[in-house]
């Protein structure tokens, strides 16, 4: 009995395994696997199922073949759909399957999507609807029975990846943040410290006890999802200003170092955000380029001798590079106010190095940031 049961399981599942690992086509409800399909591109695939038979190619129309699929997972189905003003039988690419199956058609002068609830109900998701209904509104109507994806329909783009992600979420009736492009304003407070280079020994810049200087920063950011995943490319432009003042005394000589720097900073970060709904922890990692457009810094020596005060400038050139670059790492948490707006709080560490010419001082920073996306 057990042996017969195992044979039955093998008979049931073997065609699925074969189809998943090889090219196949279905004609008159008979599956033929292990063939060599020719991929002619999405336009050609919408018209013909092309099979390499020894040294020549055999073409089948949607009236002859019910379905064909490539071993990489792409599947085309024969369906009768409304194309422009006529009903046509064509091959449509199946992007996912479930309660709603999403189909894509790429024909001559036409690229459009359809959703299928069963074999007999196929409705087009048109980018430009004749009734002036946007495809986002149409998607909201299609998915009305799962309110968890209602907000996601507002962010869907008219392409394969975005629509597939939405329909997959709908089929699972899953509530998760839908990746979409965001931008907003950022504000914060930063602590910056000058750091002498390790190879610059014996110079007066090593005489000071460098401490952090606090200052405000503000700017703008843009956040673009990477392949609609939980990773995104996070870029910013922000402004900050710092004034440093250090003092030391050796014998009868007072040494002062004064620096005033105004900077534009351009971080380019990769952000990973955990896909929770209300509070979203995230981490950042990337690079930062800096332009110190106002960069005044000097070391002064003050000598008092016989009631005569003499002040000399020690350095003949800037000790801090105008152009710097470095790395940034940080993390924080984002709070969703509603489907569109959110605020975030973040702590970040940056380290900057000279870009163009070897200067004496690098910069480290701790940043405490908050922002809101629009």
Q: Partners of 186 in the beta sheet?
A: 219, 371
Residue 245's contacts (CB-CB under 8 Å, 6 or more residues apart) are: 256, 257, 258, 259
**How crowded is the C-beta side of 133, counted as CA atoms within 13 Å?**
11
**How crowded is the C-beta side of 225, counted as CA atoms within 13 Å?**
16
Residue 187 · residue 371 · CB < 8 Å: yes
Residue 288 · residue 350 · CB < 8 Å: yes
**pLDDT 10s per residue in the chain (374 long)?**
455 555 444 445 445 444 457 899 999 999 999 999 999 999 999 999 999 988 899 999 999 999 999 999 999 999 999 888 889 999 999 999 999 999 999 998 899 999 998 766 889 998 877 677 899 999 999 999 999 999 999 999 999 999 999 999 999 999 999 999 999 999 999 999 999 886 555 567 888 889 999 999 999 999 999 999 999 999 999 999 999 999 888 877 888 899 999 999 999 999 999 999 999 999 999 999 999 999 998 888 888 776 777 777 777 678 899 999 999 999 999 999 998 899 999 999 999 998 876 677 899 999 999 999 98
Q: Which two tokens stand for residue 350?
A: 């940056």
Q: Which two tokens stand for residue 268?
A: 């380019």
CA 306 to chain centre: 68
pLDDT digits (tens, 9 = 90+) for 251-274: 778 888 999 999 999 999 999 999
Strands (DSSP E) contained in 62-108 are 67-69, 75-83, 86-96, 101-107
Residue 302 · residue 252 · CB < 8 Å: no
Q: Which two tokens stand for residue 58?
A: 């055999």
Q: Which two tokens stand for residue 10?
A: 């093998």
pLDDT at 200: 56
CA 162 to chain centre: 13
pLDDT digits (tens, 9 = 90+) for 38-90: 999 999 999 999 999 888 999 999 999 999 999 999 999 999 998 888 899 99
Fold of 182-373: Porin (2.40.160)
Domain boundaries defined on the chain:
2-95+104-115, 126-175, 182-373
CA distances from 72 to 19, 21, 96, 99, 266 (A): 10, 8, 14, 23, 40
172-198 burial, b if ≥16 CB within 10 A, otherwise e? eeeeebbbbebebebebebebbbebbe
Residue 174 · residue 148 · CB < 8 Å: yes
pLDDT digits (tens, 9 = 90+) for 112-144: 999 998 766 889 998 877 677 899 999 999 999
Neighbour tally for 94: CB within 10 Å: 19
Residue 214 · residue 190 · CB < 8 Å: yes
Q: Which two tokens stand for residue 267?
A: 């971080």
Q: Cα–Cα–Cα angle for 274, 284, 268, nearest 5°?
A: 130
């Amino acid at each position: 009995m057990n042996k017969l049961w195992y044979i039955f399981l093998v008979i049931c599942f073997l065609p699925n395994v074969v189809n998943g690992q090889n090219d196949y086509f279905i004609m008159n409800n008979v599956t033929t696997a292990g063939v060599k399909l020719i991929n002619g591109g999405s336009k050609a695939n919408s018209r013909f199922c092309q099979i390499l038979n020894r040294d020549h190619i055999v073409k089948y129309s949607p009236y002859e073949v019910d379905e064909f699929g490539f071993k990489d997972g792409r599947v085309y189905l024969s369906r009768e759909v409304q194309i422009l003003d006529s009903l046509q039988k064509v091959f449509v690419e199946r992007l996912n399957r479930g309660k709603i199956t999403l189909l894509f058609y790429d024909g001559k002068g036409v690229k459009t999507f359809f959703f299928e609830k069963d074999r007999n109900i196929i409705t087009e998701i048109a980018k430009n609807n004749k009734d002036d209904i946007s495809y986002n509104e149409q998607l909201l109507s299609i998915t009305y029975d799962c309110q968890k994806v209602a907000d996601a329909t507002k962010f869907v783009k008219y392409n394969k990846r975005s629509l597939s992600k939405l329909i997959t979420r709908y089929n699972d009736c899953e509530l998760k943040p839908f990746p979409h492009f965001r931008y907003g304003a950022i504000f914060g407070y930063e602590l910056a410290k000058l750091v002498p280079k390790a190879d610059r020994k014996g110079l007066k810049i090593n005489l000071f006890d460098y401490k952090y200087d606090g200052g405000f920063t503000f700017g703008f950011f843009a956040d673009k999802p990477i392949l609609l995943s939980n990773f995104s490319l996070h870029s910013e432009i922000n402004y900050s200003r710092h004034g440093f003042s250090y003092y030391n005394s050796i014998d009868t000589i007072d040494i002062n170092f004064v620096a005033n720097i105004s900077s534009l900073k351009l971080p380019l970060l990769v952000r990973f955000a955990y896909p929770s709904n209300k509070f979203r922890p995230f981490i950042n990692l990337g690079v930062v380029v800096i332009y110190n457009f106002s960069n005044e810094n000097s070391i002064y020596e003050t000598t008092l001798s016989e009631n005569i005060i003499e002040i000399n400038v020690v350095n003949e050139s800037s000790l801090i590079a105008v152009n710097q670059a470095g790395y940034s790492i940080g993390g924080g948490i984002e709070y969703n106010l509603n489907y569109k707006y959110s605020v975030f709080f973040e702590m970040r560490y940056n380290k900057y190095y000279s870009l163009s010419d070897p200067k004496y001082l690098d910069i480290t920073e701790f940043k405490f940031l908050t922002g809101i996306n629009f």
